């Protein structure tokens, strides 16, 4: 790119793009509402039918998509900073599957305790990341390669438990199935009300991680030379990442590739400085998941494809392309 556009301008223009996508997405569906009408209805609530559709059906779903997109992208960006590895994302390290196993256990085995789902997700995710670190900890440092290997093992273990639970409680499975696929269908304002405050805490924490993430990008030894306790900041950043992933998993289930693909796209646009990567990942995460979900629910309408399936179908090839290009 020859024209010099500052990273801040790029983030701002992507944010405007996000707003446009959100408005278009709200209008899309079995009843099409034009963007202009959508904006009108949002602010004036003039026409009853459109107001109901927009406020009760479309907005909650788009809001959940945007918030979850932000969370997963941030979680991926932070994990990538901690592990200095572009492959790190909540899915790959086992954080998401750890969180989903505990959530699934509650849904299937203890259905009366569904209010504990977010806490269970956090516990599951933390257990996963703790196992990953316990396995990756060698010679007083955490080796990125070992983290990835440990993540493979953790994913296998939790995948096994998920399989076991699904077979043992197959009668209760249909209720959990939509959640497991990373579907945003049937989300209401109630879900937004739970998701938003928890997520915002995570966003603020993520902004506090920028400095540490940048220092880690210079390498373990340099960060340590500059007075950082590298293992401590790695644990803190990981916990924020787990928190963000767990909050998302407890509402929408397993949704892969957002945490992997989005930070990578963000780096292509604003460079590697986390001062810009973190905000850009937030905006792009929302953009990507809003688009993925819009495609999911309109492509084979009235069939509602989970956003997780769209992300896997688009994210997988994108990932292969990155590998082929040699960026990963």
Q: Which residues bind to another protein, rule: CB under 8 A?
A: 139-140, 211, 214-215, 217-219, 221-222, 224-229, 271-273
Q: Which of 101, 212, 79 is nearest to 150 (CA)?
A: 79
CB of 328 to another protein, least distance (A): 14
145 exposure class (CB count in 10 Å sphere: 0-12, 13-18, 19+): exposed
CB of 16 to another protein, least distance (A): 25
CB of 273 to another protein, least distance (A): 8
Distances (CA, A) of 177 to 107, 120, 128, 171, 271: 10, 18, 22, 11, 39
My answer on whether omega of the bond before 302 falls inside 30° of 0, hence cis, is yes
Q: How far apart are the first and last CA of the chain?
A: 21
Write the DSSP symbol of residue 142.
Answer: E
Cβ closest to another protein, residue 178 vs residue 214 = 214
CB of 221 to another protein, least distance (A): 5
Cβ closest to another protein, residue 85 vs residue 224 = 224
Cβ closest to another protein, residue 134 vs residue 303 = 134
**What is residue 118's three-state secondary structure?**
helix
Q: In this structure, what token pair is assigned to residue 223? A: 């960060």
Write the DSSP symbol of residue 110.
Answer: -
Q: How many residues does the chain have?
A: 328
Cβ closest to another protein, residue 226 vs residue 323 = 226
Query: Residues 66, 255: contact at Cβ < 8 Å?
Result: no
Query: Residues 284, 14: contact at Cβ < 8 Å?
Result: yes
Give the integer Cα–Cα distance in Å for 278 and 299. 31
CB of 33 to another protein, least distance (A): 43
Write the DSSP symbol of residue 256.
Answer: -
CB of 146 to another protein, least distance (A): 16
Give the torsion sign (CA, 211, 212, 213, 219). Answer: positive
Cβ closest to another protein, residue 40 vs residue 273 = 273
Cβ closest to another protein, residue 219 vs residue 317 = 219
Cβ closest to another protein, residue 175 vs residue 226 = 226
Q: Which of 249, 246, 244, 220 is nearest to 233 (CA)?
A: 220
CB of 71 to another protein, least distance (A): 24
Q: In this structure, what token pair is assigned to residue 283? A: 């905006």
CB of 267 to another protein, least distance (A): 9
Cβ closest to another protein, residue 178 vs residue 217 = 217
């Amino acid at each position: 790119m020859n024209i010099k556009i500052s990273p801040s301008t790029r983030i701002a223009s992507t944010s405007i793009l996000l707003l446009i996508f959100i408005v278009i997405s709200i209008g899309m569906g079995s009843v099409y509402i034009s963007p202009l009408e959508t904006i009108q209805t949002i602010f004036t609530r003039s026409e009853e039918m459109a107001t109901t559709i927009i406020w009760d059906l479309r907005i909650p779903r788009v809001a959940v998509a945007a918030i979850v997109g932000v969370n997963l992208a941030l979680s991926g960006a932070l994990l990538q900073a901690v592990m200095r590895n572009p492959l790190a994302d909540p899915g790959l390290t086992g954080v998401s599957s750890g969180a989903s196993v505990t959530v699934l256990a509650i849904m299937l085995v203890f259905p009366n305790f569904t209010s504990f789902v977010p806490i269970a997700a956090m516990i599951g995710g933390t257990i996963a990341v703790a196992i990953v670190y316990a396995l990756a900890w060698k010679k007083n440092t955490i080796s990125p390669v070992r983290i990835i290997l440990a993540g493979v093992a953790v994913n296998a273990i939790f995948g096994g438990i998920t399989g076991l639970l699904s077979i043992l409680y197959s009668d209760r499975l249909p209720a959990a199935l939509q959640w497991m696929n990373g579907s945003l269908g049937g989300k209401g304002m109630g879900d937004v009300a739970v998701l938003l405050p928890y997520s915002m805490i995570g966003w603020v924490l993520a902004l506090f991680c920028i400095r540490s993430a940048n220092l880690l990008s210079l390498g373990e030894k340099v960060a340590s030379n500059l007075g950082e306790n590298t293992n401590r900041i790695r644990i803190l950043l990981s916990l924020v990442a787990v928190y963000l992933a767990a909050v998302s998993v407890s509402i929408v289930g397993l949704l892969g590739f957002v945490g992997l693909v989005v930070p990578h796209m963000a780096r292509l646009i604003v460079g590697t400085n986390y001062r810009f990567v973190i905000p850009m990942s937030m905006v792009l995460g929302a953009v990507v998941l809003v688009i993925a979900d819009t495609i999911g629910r309109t492509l084979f309408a009235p069939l509602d494809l989970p956003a997780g399936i769209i992300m896997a179908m688009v994210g997988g090839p994108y990932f292969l392309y990155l590998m082929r290009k040699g960026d990963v």
